Structures are given as structure tokens and as C-alpha cells.
Amino acid sequence: MRTRTKLVNLGRNPQRFEGVVNTPIVRGSTLLSPTLAHWQEKNRQHAADEFGASIYGRFGTATHHALQEALTELSGGYRTMLYPSGLAALANVLTALVEAGDHILLTDSAYAATSQFLQTTLARFNVSFTRYAPGIGAEIRELIQPNTRVVLVESPGSETFELQDIPAIAKEAHAAGAFVVMDNTWATPLFFDAFKHGVDVAVQAATKYIVGHSDAMLGVATCNQRAWPAIRDSSQNFGQTCSPDDAYLALRGLRTMEVRLRQHWASGVQVAQWLESRPEVERVLHPALPSHPDHELWKRDFTGAPGLFAMALKPIPEQALHAFIDALQLFGLGVSWGGYESLALPFSPVGREYTAWPYAGPGVRLHIGLEDPLDLIADLENGFIAIQNSQASLRQEEVVLA
């Protein structure tokens, strides 16, 4: 099956549920057995394969297992664990793979909450970490210590959108016996085949493109066979689970994911190219544009680009940035992304060692949703007019004050 056919068919077995097309929401804590022999047999099956039989709601019901199977098959991994958020997935995966005294290599462009977790929680358990420049490639070899257990990659990086040479990094990490954990939320398995590129654990905030409608929090970690036992055991020890309702929303999101992502991609590139022509914009940071410094890597390793990218505006007073954002009618102002709706969020990267913001003006992260891109362009144009008006009124105030 090709990807689109997989997305329609994975995790569904209508005959098991009275013929309904979608795997239903199976709510349950207690799962009853009619006889002790049945109970013992189910426990044996569960011990042999945690997806072989459900014995308790915390280990998932048919809804969870359908999503886990679908994600595993879609990503080409071995098994998938579910978590109540993307951050919970990252925190649990990192915790599962290390012990006191171990060391983690972290891309400087990582999602800020991932860095925070290493800096605060894991540090309390004597797990140290070193940041590395996202473009490091095979030279990561020089940063690997005897106790390095995990190399965390995220490509493109949060906010700044640097790509990473993941096969080169994975080769060095594996030579040293370390695991490669990737935050693959941006590309998803549709646009980046993590396992083919040497990743051991592919984490996604399913909150974003898998759910796709801004109405649930969910994290997933798909593992290869080497990483799975540690991640399963540790995550189960922490009692990690998610609601069957949210698993259902993720399954429903999968059905349309390819169609949505293809549109996010096309519209995103259209808006990004228009922005490149605007005098108010210093730089557009979109890996699918030839102007992106890592565009060749994108062409080599990725099969698409979703709707999330950033731009650096030319320097403007704070008041003009407010005027720009407040003038936008179609772009919502808020965190997260990956829903059907467009978002615009000013940012300035903090806590970075290697990837300081080199632009004098502010950064704005854009999520291009499923609206007509021409309407989005018109909305941004209104925003730019608001910048000009704000600067004109500032100049008038100066004249009056003078």
C-alpha cells in the first residue's frame, strides 16, 4: 500500500465493531473476563505482547491500539507509545534511555520545553547535556563522550528552521552506541522518513498535524526494536496513557492528513514566495524555498514541507509590530499549530548558544492553514499597510512633539 491508501485503511477493522467504518471510542478502565481461565490467558497474551490483549485501561483499549498500529505502520517503526502531550512523549523517551551520570547531546534549535526539561528535571538526576549547532553533521563525533546515550535532533529547528544532516549524525551516534531521538513534529512521517535516515525513536506532537483540528493534546513516540523495551517499560512505570477520545480524534485526523499536508505545503510556499517579494520582510525562513541555506538538504531528505515557517521583518518599532499583528483578521494569535487555521506569532529565540537571531527586526512564525492563500496574502498585505500607517503616525507625533 502507498501512503494515501495506508492513511485510509490503517487502524480500522469494521467487522470487529458491527460494521461501523471508524474504530469506535472504547472507554474503559476495568476489562472483565468471564472466567479465571480467560483472565489468565489474556494476561499471558499481554505479557507476551502488550498489544496482544487489553487487560486494563491504562494499557489502552481497542481505540488506542488501532492508533498505535496505524502510526507504527505509517512510520515504518517497530512499536508506538501514546502520551497525553508531545512534551510528555519527549520527556518520557529521554528519561527512558538514560541513567544517572549519562550525557545527552541536544540540538541548539530544539523546542524550548525540551531544553527546559533537560536543564531542570533531568539535571536533578545527574544527567548532563551539551548543546550543539544544528548544522554540525558528522563533526558531532567530537562532542560525543563515553557516557553519551542520546543525541536529540529536530529538523527543521523550532522557530529558526535550520535543517540537520540526520544520516551523518546518526552514523556517529550509532558508532558510539548512542540512541538518536528525533522530534519529527514538523515533517511528520509523510514528509520525513525518520527510520530510513537512522533515527531510533521518532517523536511527534500529534497535537499538531495528526489531530489537525486544534482540538486535542496528544504525543506519540514510534520506536525501533532496539529502543522499544526501555521506552515501553519506563513509560508504563510512569503510568503514561491518553484518553480514547483523543486517540479517536488522532485516528480521524490520519484519514485526511495527506490531503491536508499537501495543501498546507502548496499554500505555505505560495505565501512564503509572496513574502519574499515584500520590502517589509528581511528574510523568509522556509526550507522548501531555494533561498533557504539548507535547501539542498531539504531536497535530499524530505518529501514535502508543511505550512509552518518563519520570517524576519525589517526593524520596526514595537508599536508597528502590534499594528501588524492586530490588523490580521485571518491569522490567529496563539501557540501551537498544525490545525486547519492560520496563525501568526512574534518570537525571539531565547537560551540559544549557537543560533542567535542574526536579524535586527523581529521574527514572526506563520502557520499557513487551509484558507485560500490569496485571502491570506490580502490579510498580510493589510498588516503591512498597518505597519506603514503606524510609522506615519509615529512620525506625526514626533513632529507635534518637536
Ligand X SMILES: *Cc1c(COP(=O)(O)O)cnc(C)c1O
Q: Which residues bind ligand X (CB under 6 A)?
A: 85-87, 111, 158, 183, 185, 205, 207-208, 217, 219, 336
- As a whole number of Å, the end-to-end CA separation of the chain is 72
- The three cell numbers of residue 349 are 529565540
Cα distance between residue 280 and residue 283, in whole Å:
9
Residue nearest to ligand X (CB): 86
Q: What is the largest distance, in Å, between two alpha-carbon atoms of the chain?
A: 91
For ligand X, the closer of residues 158 and 355 by Cβ is 158
* Structure-block grid coordinates of residue 310: 518563519
Cell output for 354: 549557537
Q: In terms of DSSP bridges, do strands 308-313 and 363-367 run parallel, antiparallel, or are they unpaired?
A: antiparallel
- Minimal distance, residue 302 CB to ligand X, in Å: 15
Angle at alpha carbon of residue 322, lines to 357 and 311, rounded to 5°: 35
Rounded least distance, CB 43 to ligand X, Å: 33
Min dist CB 185 to ligand X, Å, is 4
**Shortest Cβ distance from residue 378 to ligand X (Å)?**
27
Q: Give the catalytic positions in this structure.
A: 58, 111, 183, 208
Give me the least distance between CB of 57 and ligand X, in Å please: 22
Q: Cβ of residue 208: shortest distance to ligand X, in angstroms? A: 6
In 3D space, the residue among 230, 245, 255 whose CA is nearest the CA of residue 74 turns out to be 255
Could you count the other beta carbons within 10 Å of the beta carbon of residue 350?
Answer: 9
Nearer to ligand X, 12 or 131 (CB): 131
Contacts of 392 (CB under 8 A, 6+ apart): none
With a CB cutoff of 8 Å and minimum separation 6, the contacts of 395 are none
How many residues make up the chain in this entry?
402
Q: Quick one: which of 186, 190, 148 has its CA closest to 164?
A: 186
Cα separation, 229 vs 227, whole angstroms: 6
Residue 216: all three cell numbers together: 486535542
Of 207 and 240, the one with the shorter C-beta distance to ligand X is 207
Q: Which is nearer to ligand X, 70 or 82 (CB)?
A: 82
Query: Minimal distance in Å, beta carbon 207 to ligand X?
Result: 3
